[in-house]
Amino acid sequence: MSAPVPLALTVNGVEVARAVAPRTTLADFLRLDLELTGTHTGCEMGACGACLVMMDGVPVHSCLVLAVQAEGAVIETVEGLSERGAIAELQQAFHQRNALQCGFCTPGVLVNAHALLEHGGVPTREDIRDALSGNYCRCTGYEAIVDAIETTARLRAGAEGQP
Amino acid sequence: MKARAFSYVRSETLADAYAAFAQAGDASYISGGQSLVPALALRLQAPELLVDLGAVAEMHGVTLDGDMLRIGGLTRHAQMLTEPLIARHAPLLAQAAPHVAHPAIRNRGTLGGSVALADPASEFPAMMLAMDARMEIFGAAGTRLVPADAYFQDLYQTALEPGEILVALHVPSVGPRHRWAFDELTRRRGDYAMVGAGLQGLFEEDGRIEHIRIAFFSVAATPVRVKSVEAALAGRKIDAALIAHVQGLIDAELDPAEDEHLPPAMRLHLARVLLGRLLQTVSSPT
Ligand SMILES: Cc1cc2nc3c(=O)[nH]c(=O)nc-3n(C[C@H](O)[C@H](O)[C@H](O)COP(=O)(O)OP(=O)(O)OC[C@H]3O[C@@H](n4cnc5c(N)ncnc54)[C@H](O)[C@@H]3O)c2cc1C
Ligand code: FES
Ligand code: FES
């Protein structure tokens, strides 16, 4: 009963093989087994968005995925995005615009912002708010977060326009 | 906020999944997990075995067979917005999808999971009624098709018997004379609706309605059609007077339960407003 199940997946570019109890969520697996604590857990029921990670190229709530369901998946956490420089401008803009205070929501917000900006172009503020509709931030009032994401989108669009 | 321990099996065929479920005393299926995993975390459910349907081939893919679109149960909410066959043949699903939860939840949640759960506040189950869809169900006697009108029975009660699997949704394809519309009223984006509705109808060349199906959600224990409204619209052309007339039929059709956040009179008012908006939308071709 409830014996550990073998699990093989790729996390931040590294192939990982472990045995996990079926009830372990992907969030707990990342945080407790792999010690990747950048992924935060708040509500553990899909409401707050602190636990977002990229799974096979799209953002998902890691508290709503069982680790065993991620068999064969390619996962990227905020650590992975940060280390390969994928969110460097976003991080810079968040810093400059004061888009975080306690930082609890920030990993999830960055993952969603990264996914949104991967579509290219400059999203409207409405688009940005829509993308972040599942992210709770109890500190900033969101305005600065939307500013930082918009600034980054403009920066990237401008940079692409350069010869 | 941690689930009780359970065993886990990933099945690759319907028969295997059905057998695994039957063998365990107390099992649950899991598709996208976006409703089940929170229910496990809150210990609202604590099965001994989880049977993962994610690898069942018959439940994947979207195909057109004549004028029926077959949407595999594992098709994710997000695919309602990207799958060209759905945009072309079942556009009401594409219209409803942006209102279902948040983008990241739509990346995991499945159409089959949503319709199997049959949350009375959910968008897609009601759209099954509006589109006159058939549910492909796998059970002890093999596969059967159940029309949406017979599928939704009571609060979270559907035609699915314990252990049966919702394999796919069959949706009649829309043609050039169809019109459709969806809308809902929510307090915040991504929330479950206070009241929502979708409609789909066949219109004559001159704009008269041949027949129409209108399904509301978040107003009763199941998604519901407003049949007296549908009947009053048949053969007629939409104008302000007709809209006012059928809005007047809503009170007799719907009987929302007491709710401390939203009194029944308020819900009925919102339903009338929504009906007016939707009919206005389809008064000219979609
Ligand atoms: C924060 C949040 C907000 C949400 N907002 C909305 C919303 O606004 N509107 C909305 O409609 N939904 C909403 N949802 C729910 C979401 O859409 C779910 O994904 C969906 O209802 C269930 O689909 P699933 O594939 O995740 O099913 P699962 O969670 O895997 O399963 C749901 C139930 O159905 C059973 N089941 C699953 N698949 C099958 C099958 N093929 N055959 C038989 N039984 C099956 C399971 O045993 C379980 O009981 C929200 C969820 C969250 C967490
Ligand atoms: S911890 Fe996953 S959404 Fe809150
Ligand atoms: S910075 Fe504190 S919750 Fe967002």
pLDDT tens for residues B233-282? 999 999 999 999 999 999 999 999 998 889 999 999 999 999 999 999 99
Contact B105 A46 (CB under 8 A): yes
| Candidate from A1, A68, A134 with C-beta closest to B105 | A134
- Delimit the CATH 3.30.390.50 region(s) of chain B: 180-281
What domains can you pick out in chain A, each with its CATH number? Answer: 5-77 (3.10.20.30), 87-159 (1.10.150.120)
Q: How far is A47 from chain B (nearest CA, A)?
A: 10
Q: What is the pLDDT at residue A163?
A: 47
Is residue A82 lining ligand 3, measured as CB closer than 6 Å?
no
CATH architecture of B57-172: 2-Layer Sandwich (3.30)
Contact A23 B4 (CB under 8 A): yes
The CATH number of domain B180-281, selected from 1.10.1070.20, 3.40.50.300, 3.30.390.50, 3.30.470.20: 3.30.390.50
Residue B198 near residue B97, CB atoms below 8 Å: no
Q: Which residue of B has its CA nearest to A48?
A: B102
CATH topology of domain B7-52: 3.30.43
For B41, the token pair is 């975390």
Q: Spell out which residues of chain B touch residue A65, defining contact as CB-CB under 8 Å.
A: 33, 37, 108
Contact with chain B for residue A68, Cβ under 8 A: yes
Q: What is the pLDDT at residue A35?
A: 98
Residue B165 near residue B158, CB atoms below 8 Å: no
Ligand 2 centroid vs B180 CA: distance in angstroms? Answer: 35
Ligand nearest to the CA of B189: 1
Helix axes A88-96, A106-118, angle to 10 degrees: 130
Residue nearest to atom 3 of ligand 3 (CA): A137
- Delimit the CATH 3.30.465.10 region(s) of chain B: 57-172
Residue A13 in this model has a pLDDT that exceeds 50 = yes
Ligand 3 centroid vs A155 CA: distance in angstroms? Answer: 24
- How far lies B21's CA from each of A45, A79, B25, B57, in Å? 25, 39, 8, 18
pLDDT tens for residues A38-74? 999 999 999 999 999 999 999 999 999 999 999 999 9
ipTM of the complex in this document: 0.95
Residue to mutate, A45, A55, A135, ligand 2, most ligand atoms under 8 Å from C-beta: A45
Q: Spell out which residues of chain A touch residue B105, defining contact as CB-CB under 8 Å.
A: 46, 61, 64, 134
Residues of chain B with pLDDT under 50: none
pLDDT tens for residues A96-128? 999 999 999 999 999 999 999 999 999 999 999
Residue to substitute from A60, A117, A126, A132, interface B, most B β-carbons within 10 A: A60
Q: What is the pLDDT at residue B192?
A: 86
| The 3-state secondary structure of chain A, one letter per residue | CCCCEEEEEEECCEEEEEEECCCCEHHHHHHHHCCCCCCCCCCCCCCCCCCEEEECCEEEEHHHCEHHHHCCCEEECHHHHHHCCCCHHHHHHHHHCCCCCCCCCHHHHHHHHHHHHHCCCCCCHHHHHHHCCCCCCCCCCCHHHHHHHHHHHHHHHHHHHCC
Q: How far is A28 from chain B (nearest CA, A)?
A: 10
Contact B8 A22 (CB under 8 A): yes
**Of chain B residues 145-184, which have a CB less than 8 A from chain A?**
none
Helix axes B264-282, B240-247, angle to 10 degrees: 150
**Cβ-based neighbour number of residue B24 at 10 Å:** 18
- Delimit the CATH 3.30.43.10 region(s) of chain B: 7-52
Residue nearest to atom 3 of ligand 2 (CA): A46
Residue A159 in this model has a pLDDT that exceeds 90 = no
In chain A, the percentage of residues whose pLDDT exceeds 90 is: 94
